[in-house]
Structure 1
Amino acid sequence: MPPFGVVRRGCAMRWAGLLPRMRFGQRRNFVFREDLAAKVAEYAAMKPNPVSLHSWLGEFAEPVQLAEFLCTEMPIRYAERIRNIESIPAWQDIKELVDVHTIQLNAFQAFAEQSRTQWQDVQHFKPVVEEVQAADRMTKLLLMQAAQKLRRQRGTDSFMDEFSLELNKFLDVFLLSRLGCNMLMGQYLACTGASPLKGIVNPQCDAFEVCRKAADEVKRRCEISQGRVPIVHVEAFTMAGQGVTKAPRFSYIPGILMHIVRELLKNSCQRSLELAESASELHEMPIHVVVCADKRHVVIRITDRARGIPRQIGSKIWSYLYSGSPTAISGLSFGYGIGLPLSRLHARYLGGSLDLVSLPGYGVDAYLSLPRVEADLVEQVPDIEQDATQINLLTL
């Protein structure tokens, strides 16, 4: 049995069966299809091809060229995720994993079976991409439910034991691959839409403006849910000095930046509201967002005064299995309690990083660093064979 989360290329596939082609979201019993198993194995043996942001702004701003790439690249990425699931012993016994497997397999078929005539026709191909994305919306929730079931089966209450750490690595690889697929599909849909921007990449992404909008959204949610709003200051600096007119602009995906900054601000605002018993106390706990840049990087620092991360929590905050807010403030929740690890994954996707520094008794500094040079902005796409040499995964 291969290690959990790793499937060797070329090894025989031990499947209980494969779903026949169906409409997305429809569930049926497993029926073995040897031809489909062989096709998945064929694509899983191929290496994924990361895309640079330069390509997003160039040839992949044209729907037909991007459609051709999707129909050759997406089956590779979906096949690897299919086989990652199948590497988990008795995965068929966990309903949520079966459901995720179904979603991946249907998407694999949707792209792998497109003929040249079909993917060249926007009227035909666009609904296919939309349906794949719609079917994928439940994947994160299903994976988190499956992960908790795996922990219960293992009988562990720890978030930092060896098994839980390896399970987190599995989720990191799976979700990073999924993020890349969704970004490329989002690029295609944006290119075929009515927006004047040819895609989801903004060649003049204004980091200051994105941070300001994220702050406004989080503060609005605080006002609606709590009737109180923390003070949030947003400032911009470059090597030329301070000021909005000097705010750093660079080629980037604004949706990714918004996702990360919004999550960090939500955490800071939530903790500040939990600690402040009065308006005056809240006023003394301002949150500062500093956007700065040099020629190669954009760096965003978010600082709060919410007394830091308790030492007993420590690195648990990066675990998909740990929810740091079991009593999260109503109206401030954006997801499934996995905002920080997902935000770090979003930062990594195009070569960035996200780090937190806790100052006990004072607050937390979050540092988001993103490449500014287009040549450095390249997808980080996990590859099973490569990851197998770097990660020592456990057998369940």
Structure 2
Amino acid sequence: MTSCLVISSQYPIPGTETGRDYLNWSNEKPTLVFHCITFCYSVPPMSTTQMCCHVTTGSANACEKTSFVFLRQELPVRLANIMKEIDFLPDKLLSTPSLQLLQSWYETSLMELVGFLEKEPDDKKILKKFTETLVNIRNRHNNVVPTMAQGVVEYKDAFGSDPVTNQNVQYFLDRFYMSRISTRMIMNQHSLIFDGSANPAHPKHIGTIDPDCDVTEVVKDAFDSSKMLCEQYYLTSPEIDITQVNGKFYTGLQTLVQVVFQCLFCFQNAMRATVETHEMALHLPPVKVRVSLGSEDLTIKISDRGGGVPLRKIERLFSYMYSTAPSPVDIDNSRNAPLAGFGYGLPISRLYAKYFQGDLQLYSMEGYGTSAVIYLKALSSESVERLPVYNQSAIRHYQTSNEADDWCMPSKDPKKLGKYERRS
């Protein structure tokens, strides 16, 4: 396998003599780096076990060097892969102010990372600078989700939408946000472990991974957080009825972000639906939770009696282009909730589940309630990253147009059959 370091040295970067003065190359789009990294270095998915092992095996200094050598090549590859796909978005979408801003963030971050490709891993100052750079990149990308969402809103408001664009944007955003989840995951693992700011309240945590994760307790914590928000807004909230199957258990090496994010969003939806459906009732029906550990899957089922949704709307709930929620007033305000106002909670939650080979499914009974089922891998060795790969298959997907449906589909409005009646 050819490394991006060798390729970059063979093909000097524009504006430099040797191709090694990466940090001074700030005024030109790094096209050659995209090409070299994307086509000459594949993206290896990692399991949660590997994420722990490669930063905890050996002495502390050796672990940091190992992580540094891995990330300085891996992170540019992941960024470059998704940056190549951004170019396949409609030109009118790319021209929106939000997309222009977002692309500048990614280009800046890529160039900062490329600057470490030939740095000496034995230099402690370099290791410290690298960790600081990861923190800066993470902070720079904090508002990527609402910024991209705002770009989609700007595009729809100005140009409308069509089935082909909707299909391509949905395909891209699933891959784009999955890529973001993966890069933040491995950056957080490194920075949380090596920046010297470990959480004393959780000494056993390995970055964002808890080797002794009690999922039932995590679910309860997520419920309590959602309950507090619900009571602040509605002045009331339903209680929880939780049951764990197979007794008290620990799943081992679960990412807290993965579990908490999905549960938080599902609880917030369940509570809102329950309160609004039973606003005149003296007692609210509880949100029922079932947690079950099997030989392959860890399953969390969250059920409410919030009235449910029609079957035809289920898939639409996972679409980025069909959100009817109002957009936030100021996306630059870092105090805003990351998903507030765009209706992206459900599709992003599903991506968090899929990131480690799980899933999130909705089952609804209109007039009664909805069940959200979160599937996670029971074994940490099987919790392997699901990563987008930039290749010819991905390119063909963007170039394929939507074909006409070969099934008879009903129109949105029922036909008026009166005009077909035979007149006597």
In structure 2, the CA distance between the partners of 1:326 and 1:155, relative to structure 1 (3 Å rule), is closer
Which segment drifts farther, 210-219 or 315-324? 315-324
Q: Which has the larger radius of gyration?
A: 2
Q: Distance in 2 between matches of 1:191 and 1:344?
A: 27
2:310 equivalent in structure 1 = 310
- Residue 368 (structure 1) aligned with residue 374 (structure 2): yes
Q: Distance in 1 between matches of 2:213 and 2:87?
A: 40
Q: Shift in Å at residue 162 of structure 1?
A: 3.6
Q: How far has the Cα of 1:260 moved from its partner?
A: 0.3
Separation in 2 of the partners of 1:53 and 1:126? 21
2:268 to 249, 266, 270: 266
- 1:22-74 Cα offsets, whole Å, 9 max, x none, are 99xxxxxx9445xx321222112132111111211211333321121110101
CA 1:334–1:99 in 2, change beyond 3 Å: closer, same or farther?
Answer: closer
Match of 1:116 in 2: 119
- State the SS of the aligned residue for 1:378: coil
Shift of 1:334: 6.2
Matched, 1:73 2:109: no
Residues paired across the two proteins, number = 356
Distance 2:384 2:327 in 1: 38
After superposition, where does 1:160-199 map in structure 2 within 5 Å? 161-192=163-194, 193-195=197-199, 196=203, 197-199=205-207
For CA contacts below 8 A with separation 6 or more, give which structure has more relative contact order: 1
Helix, strand or coil for the counterpart of 1:364? Answer: strand
CA distance in 1, matches of 2:169, 2:94: 17
1:38 aligned residue (32, 39, 50):
32
- Structure 1 pair 31–106 and aligned structure 2 pair: CA distance change class (3 A): closer
Contact 1:263 1:343 in 2 (8 A): yes
With normalisation by structure 1, the TM-score equals 0.82
Matched ranges for 1:131-280 at <5 A: 131-156=136-161, 161-192=163-194, 193-195=197-199, 196=203, 197-238=205-246, 243=247, 246-280=248-282
Cα distance in structure 1, aligned partners of 2:123 and 2:264: 37
Match of 2:339 in 1: 335
> Given residue 39 of structure 1, which amino acid in structure 2 is its aligned partner?
V
Secondary structure, aligned partner of 1:299:
strand
CA RMSD, 1 decimal: 2.8
Match of 2:132 in 1: 127
The C-alpha deviation readout for 1:65-104, integer Å capped at 9, x for no partner, is 1121110101111111221122234365222111111111
Gaps of 5+ in 1: 1-19, 24-29
Shift of 1:338: 0.5
Contact 1:200 1:253 in 2 (8 A): yes
The 5 Å alignment of 1:22-33 reads 31-32=27-28
- 1:53 lines up with 2:48 in the alignment: yes
Residue in 2 aligned with 1:356?
362
Q: Cα gap change, 1:119/1:367 in structure 2, threshold over 3 Å: closer, same or farther?
A: farther
* Residue 311 to residue 333, structure 1, CA distance change in 2 (3 Å): farther
CA distance, structure 2, for counterparts of residue 270 and residue 334 of structure 1? 19
Residue by residue over 1:113-150, the C-alpha shift from the partner in whole angstroms, topping out at 9 and shown as x without a partner, is 11332685332221101100010012111111112233
Question: Using the alignment, how far apart are the partners of 1:361 and 1:119 within structure 2?
Answer: 64
Asked if the contact 2:301–2:374 (Cα under 8 Å) also holds between the matched residues in 1, the reply is yes
Per the TM alignment, residue 394 of structure 1 is displaced from its structure 2 partner at its CA by 5.0
TM-score by length of 2: 0.77
